[in-house]
Chain A
Amino acid sequence: MPRFLKISLWIGMAFLYVPIFVLIIYSFNSSRRGSVWGGFSTHWYGELFRDEKILQAAWISLKIGVYSATGATVLGVLASVVLVRFGAFKGRRLFSSLVSAPLVMPEVITGISLLLLFISAEQFLGWPAQRGILTITIAHITFCTAFVIVVVQPRLADMDSSLEEASRDLGAGPATTFCLVTLPIIAPALMSAWLLAFILSFDDLVIASFTSGPGATTLPMLIFSKIKIAVSPDVNALATLIILTVGIALTLVMLGLRKGRKQ
Chain B
Amino acid sequence: MSTIPINPVLPFLRTDRMPTIWCPGCGIGTTVNCFARALLDSGVDLKHLAIVSGIGCTGRVAGYVKLDSFHTTHGRAIPFATGLKLANPKLNVVVYSGDGDLSAIGGNHLIHAARRNIDIKVICVNNLIYAMTGGQTAPTTPGHVITSTHPYGTFDPNFNLPHLVEAAGAVYVARWTTFHVRQIARSMAEVFKKPGFCFIEILSPCPTLYQRRNKMGDGLDTMKFYKEHSKIKNGVSTSEVGLTRNGDIIVGKFVDRDRSDYLTMAHDQFVEALGDRYVDECAAECCEEGI
Are the chains A and B members of one assembly?
no
Residues on A lying within 8 angstroms of B by beta carbon are: none
B contact set with A: CB distance below 8 Å: none
